[in-house]
Amino acid sequence: MSRATERSAVTGVLKRIDSKVRFNQVLHHLSIATCLVLGVLLLVEVAPRLVPVSVPPGGLIVVAGSAAFTLFLLWSQVRGRRLERAAGVIDLRAGLNDEMKSAYWFMRQRDSSPWIDLLVGRAGETARRLDPRGLVPVTIPKRFGIALVLFGLLQLMAFVPSNGPLLTFVAETDSTRFERAREVYAEELRDLIDGEGDELLDEDALALLEAALEELEAAETSFDDLLHDLREAQDALDEGNLEMAATRDALDEMASEFAGSDELAEFVDALMSQELADAADLLRDLAERLGDLNGQELTELENRMQEASEIDEPVIGELLAALEEASQALSENRLADAQEALDRVAAALEEIAQRQARQQANNEAAEAAEAMQEALSQQPGGSPGQMQVQMVQSQNVAGERADALTATPSSEVTRSDGASPGTQTGPAGNATGDPSGGDLELGATTTLEAQLALEVIDGTAPDSDLEELDPEDLFQEASRRQTSSLRYRDVRAPSRYSQGSALNAERIPWRYRSLVRKYFLAIRPDERK
Amino acid sequence: MTITQLATQVSDFTEQFQKVKDEISKVIVGNDEIIDGTLISLIAKGHVLLEGIPGIGKTKIVATVADVLHLTFSRIQFTPDLMPGDIVGSDVVHESDTGEKHLSFQRGPIFTHILLADEINRATPKTQSALLEAMQERSVTVGTTTHRLPPPFFVLATQNPLEMEGTYPLPEAQLDRFFYKLKISYPEPHHMHEIMDRTTRREEPEAEIVLDRDQILVMRDTARSVPIARAVQDYAIRLTLATHPDTEHSHPLTQRYARFGASPRGTQTLVIGGKVSALLNGRIHVSCEDIRAFMLPALRHRVLLNFEGEAERIDTDMILEAIMKDTPEPTE
């Protein structure tokens, strides 16, 4: 046979094989495209039933998928025949040991030699023996089975009723976090108010806490405002502690005056141990037993009462006055009046006992409020609304800078004293400013609330010329003596927050943790020393 | 040359090769791979390094090959005191009948067709170099005169892997001169019976001459004419590059255990060996299977292990087998 005949035999087989390979590839890609489109359609059908998402219409997906597949098909067909690939397929499937690949490569080189002619001739003979249909049969991809299953599922979905999404996934935004925290604090405040009881709480503090709770429930406050309210409430709750301390000191002094008397020994013990209700009962017993006492005992009792009533403690003034009346009545041998006066002393003791119980409750409430303050201090910021205000304020600053360029200040800053919040009002500035001094585009009026830390000056003002000293000079004088201090409570919360943020923020990568731990273990002081 | 003549030449090649092999098999039992490798090297103008323990027939194989090929054969037993002149020859003083004295070149044992360099690693590097230079250049130079070695010049060197004391291992550059490194293993039990039957009788089998020098030279030309497609050649190149630790084709095992990979001479070996293999399989084109067929003897001495490979006693054959397994054949 001629060389051309052999070559055409080889080329003819390669073309037939290439066509079959291409057809199988089209089926392969069609199966993938069908699975993809059906899968997406199924997802579009199922997803809205599970989660609240908006999905494109199914028709659009089918059209888009078909268009993409058609474009891919056109591109793959216009790439031209790839007979090298067909030669590779023949070699692989017919086990020809690279005969077709070699023959086709040398055919393309257009070289001619007896060796190449012999090679092509042998390849031609082999090609004639080949059965392209058997070598590359039409293969239906298994993916069509998957597509069939997907199609069935899609049809089944039409019979499943949809009652809206089963699951609701909402990303936690700043506002939701704030809302969750707000509910937690409202619950804590509610517990604080309800748990301690209306009767025992300080009325001012109670009013403050109730107002804060009301604002928190109505979402009309920020964490910073809540912190402020809690501090005020705690201050109010703490106010009674000083008076109670003075009362305790006065009662101790009074007890010391009664010490030594046999008749009043138990009464003194009750006073010293702050068991005021018991002390009141003992005093009432004594009043009933006054008639049984002899003259000497009465005289001693009168003297003790007289000495006790002379102590200078205004916080128990009512008690001391009744005690003096009792002493006076005993001296004039008016036992009935003395009994009545002692009953009044007992009543005064009971009232002090009640006040102490109330203050105890106040202190517990103050501790709870303090704990809430610490928790609040670690909150990253105020409410979302407040955050918006801060953004507008930053624009104000930019606007002020622009105003400064034109030397026309548009806002006035007023610094308030530490105790009361000051306000600053001004227009919302144009962030870009207007150096030419043209009309500014003003936004809504905003309010800046500032809370300065409360500073307590414990300094002693000079005795002389007190009237002449300017308040600022008085402050400077106290500062120079270094007696000015901030309340520990005001300092502690921020410091604790700093510690907490440092511990939480300074994260050590896992791979270095062991190293860091070893380092600190190595530098740890020896505990045995 | 017509296609018919060529086809005849190809069939003659296969026939003659088989005839030689059959004749050798009369004497040598088993070791088909060794016989094939030796004959392919001869046809491919290469040299062979035979490695094996003593007493398993290395020398016998070489001697038998020489017997069946009707070629001159020399054997040099390499020893530490062997000098280069003992191999290549030297100028000696001759006195004529008239009393005139003149220098004449006395040829050494290297002037032969088949040279058995027995226990080549026992000679000093200087002596080894003299042989290896002749292997490469196929000529020896003594004084100012270069003497061509008669074609075909075929060296079969043997070395014993057990005894390392008092030996001079061949440098890597010189190992590269060997076309194949063939490892002769201990015979199988059934082969042992055959060896006993053949060698313990009164008459031992003898091989006859079946091929002469000219036929061998024709076979050499035939083998080198076999065409190889670019894709198959590319496969051979990729296999070679995979033995290098620092190329894009590097195999993971090579990266870990190899210091250097095979040189381009290694690829030449793969291709020429593949051509002979193709002819032996009745094909006139080289296939990937032909390239793989003798990859182990072609490259095992060309891959140099690094310290880790040496420490873990990695066999280069293991690396090459992994490369063969993991390097994909061309698809088009």
The whole-number pLDDT of residue B293 equals 93
State how far the alpha carbon of B6 is from the alpha carbons of A62, A103, B222, in Å: 62, 17, 9
Residue A282 CA, distance from chain mean position: 56
Q: In chain A, positions 119-148, which contact chain B (CB-CB < 8 Å)?
A: 119, 121-122
| Facing residue for B231 by CB, picked from A97, A101, A118 | A101
User: Touching check for B277 and chain A: CB below 8 Å?
Assistant: no
User: Pairing state of beta strands A446-450 and A422-426?
Assistant: antiparallel
Of B64, B85, B73, B183, nearest to B134 by C-alpha is B85
Contact at CB, B6 and A121, closer than 8 angstroms: no
- Residues in B closer than 8 angstroms to A116, CB to CB, are 227
Percent of chain A whose pLDDT exceeds 70: 68
H or E element at residue B196? helix B189-199
In the DSSP assignment, the letter for residue A424 is E
Which pLDDT score is estimated for A2?
Answer: 67
- A114 near B CB under 8 A: yes
What is the model's pLDDT at position A444? 57
CB pairs under 8 A between A and B: 69
Closest CA to B195 of B25, B19, B16, B28: B28
Strands (E), chain B: 48-51, 73-77, 89-95, 101-107, 114-118, 139-142, 145-148, 154-159, 180-183, 258-260, 304-305
Q: In this complex, do B227 and A115 lie within 8 Å of one another by their Cβ atoms?
A: yes
- The three-state secondary structure class of A419 is coil
Judge residue B87's burial from the number of C-beta atoms within 10 Å of its C-beta, 0-12 exposed, 13-18 middle, 19 or more buried. buried
Chain B residues near residue A92 by CB distance under 8 angstroms: 331
The answer to whether A97 contacts chain B (CB < 8 Å) is yes
Mean pLDDT of B187-191: 83
Cis peptide bond upstream of A384, omega within 30:
no
Q: Is B6 on the interface with A (CB under 8 A)?
A: yes
| Alpha-carbon distance values, B137 to A510, B42, B88 (Å) | 64, 16, 13
Per-residue pLDDT, B298: 95
- Evaluate whether A248 touches A274 at the Cβ level (below 8 Å): yes
Residues B212-251 pLDDT 10s: 888 999 999 999 999 999 999 999 999 999 999 988 889 9
The token pair that represents A160 in the structure block: 């499943």
Query: What part of B 211-240 touches A (C-beta under 8 Å)?
Result: 225-232
For chain A, give me the number of helices (H) and strands (E)? 19, 4
pLDDT, residue A192, reads: 72
Q: Indicate whether this model's pTM tops 0.80.
A: no
- Residue B104, CA distances (Å) to A245, B89, B134, B138, B261 in order: 134, 11, 20, 21, 45
Interchain contact B288–A (C-beta under 8 A): yes
Please tell me the predicted confidence (pLDDT) of residue A274: 80
Contacts of B267 (CB under 8 A, 6+ apart): B236, B237, B240
Residue B278 has pLDDT above 90, yes or no: yes
pLDDT in tens, chain A (529 residues): 566 788 888 888 888 888 888 888 888 888 998 898 888 888 888 887 777 777 777 788 888 888 888 888 888 777 766 788 888 888 888 888 888 888 888 888 877 888 888 888 888 888 888 888 888 888 888 888 998 998 898 888 878 777 666 666 555 555 666 677 777 777 877 777 776 555 555 677 777 777 777 877 777 667 777 777 777 777 777 777 777 777 888 888 888 888 777 777 888 888 888 888 888 888 888 888 888 888 888 888 888 888 888 887 777 888 888 888 888 888 888 888 888 888 888 888 888 888 888 778 777 777 777 777 777 666 554 444 443 333 333 344 444 443 433 333 333 333 334 333 434 444 444 444 444 444 555 555 555 555 454 555 555 555 555 556 666 666 666 666 655 555 555 555 555 555 656 666 566 777 777 888 888 888 877 655 4
What distance lies between CA A228 and its chain's CA centroid?
19
What's the average model confidence in pLDDT over B70-82? 89
Nearest chain A residue to B224 by CA: give it.
Answer: A115
Mean pLDDT of B118-142: 87
* ipTM for the whole complex: 0.81
Identify whether the C-beta of residue A280 lies closer than 8 Å to the C-beta of residue A353. yes
Contact A3, A10 (CB under 8 A): no
The predicted structure's pLDDT at residue A477:
65
Indicate whether B271 pLDDT > 90.
Answer: yes
Smallest CA–CA separation between B228 and chain A, in Å?
7
> Per the structure block, which two tokens stand in for B33?
């791979």
Residue B257 has pLDDT above 60, yes or no: yes
Distance CA B290, CA B44 (A): 14
Burial A93-125 (b: 16+ CB within 10 A, else e): ebebbbbbbbbbbbbeeeeeebbbbbbbbbbbe
With beta carbons less than 8 A apart as the criterion, state whether A157 and A45 touch. yes
Largest CA-CA distance found in chain B, in angstroms, rounded: 76
The pLDDT, as a whole number, for residue A97 is 86
* Model pLDDT, residue A395: 40
Q: Which of A14, A21, A102 to mutate to test the interface with B (most CBs of B within 10 A)?
A: A102
Contact B227 A106 (CB under 8 A): yes
- Exposure on the CB side of residue B269, measured as CA atoms within 13 A: 30
DSSP structure class, residue B243: T
Q: What string of H, E and C letters represents the secondary structure of A24-60?
A: HHHHHHHHHHHHHHHHHHHHHHHHHHHCCCCCCCHHH
**What length does chain B have?**
332
pLDDT of res. A391: 35
Cβ–Cβ contact B280 with A under 8 A: no
Residue type, A140: I
Whether residue B229 and residue A116 make contact (CB cut-off 8 A), yes or no, is no
pLDDT bucket at B178, cuts 50 / 70 / 90: very high
